[in-house]
Amino acid sequence: MICTLVVARYPKWLGWAGLLSMAVFRLPLWLSPSIHFWKLMGCGRNGTFDKTPDWRQWAVLITGEEETQLPPFLHSWWRFWGCEKFTIKMQAVEGHGYWDGKACFGDLTKQRDTDGMIGVLTRATIRLNRLTAFWKEVDTVADRMRQAPGFIFSLGIGEIPWIKQATFSIWESKTQMQQFAYGMREHADVVRKTRKEKWYSEEMFVRFRILSVTGSLNGNHPLPGKS
């Protein structure tokens, strides 16, 4: 399954147009027969799960059997408002879990050898009675991730603030990502707590092969030297 993630950053004082797009984009996405699955999401401020939204930054994710194009209307909208865009095209290679009850990235194996740079999507619907426990752990894990060897870039995205949240990150290699995920004590402790205390009503973990990266965020290419 091929996936495209587009992050659009609106000019200052025009974040309201990004919020409006979350309603306006639904019809053209729904009418696109080649799009297998799509999501419209807001972004956190600090590159991971975040309580504070970035009102200028909004994301669109689509999947298809082959490389699927976004409806032209979306590009026209972003061009009209003078948005900065960052686009990642990738292929889902392994993972598990569901998004709104759907295996939206296809039938994936749980383990597969992957060479080179990889993308990782971690997504969850947090139970209301576990929100405090979840958010208490977020900042520590996020700080450790940004300092981890092999970490390149991360983005916090979500459908519903506080409750339906995801982090997309890019790493130099699968090995370095796994060293962080399983070797960093704070992260490993949180993973154990999520299982033991049943923090999530639904969760998903997917790894991707990066096909292309174009555009910029805040005037910079988040993956310098990579395209």
Q: Would you list the domain boundaries of the chain? A: 2-215
CA 66 from centroid of its chain's CA atoms: 20
10 Å Cβ neighbour count for 80?
9
| CA torsion through residues 20, 126, 145, 174, sign | negative
Check pLDDT > 90 for residue 15.
Answer: yes
Dump pLDDT digits (tens) for 63-116.
998 778 899 999 999 999 999 999 999 999 999 999 999 989 988 877 767 778
Phi, psi (rounded to 5 degrees) for 99: -125, 115
Dump pLDDT digits (tens) for 178-209.
888 877 777 777 778 888 888 888 999 999 99
Q: Which two tokens stand for residue 105?
A: 């990235």
Distances (CA, A) of 80 to 85, 99, 198: 13, 32, 44
Check pLDDT > 60 for residue 134.
Answer: yes
Name, in order, each residue with C-beta under 8 angstroms of 107's C-beta and a sequence gap of 6 or more: none
The whole-number pLDDT of residue 196 equals: 83
Phi, psi (rounded to 5 degrees) for 195: -75, -50
SS (H, E, C) 30-68: HCCCCCCEEEEEEEECCCCCCCCEEEEEEEEEEEECCCC
* Region 169-184 average pLDDT: 87
pTM above 0.75, yes or no: yes
CA 49 from centroid of its chain's CA atoms: 10
CATH of domain 2-215: 3.30.70.100
- List the one residue out of 161, 165, 156, 169 whose CA is nearest residue 200: 165
Q: What is the mean pLDDT of the chain?
A: 88
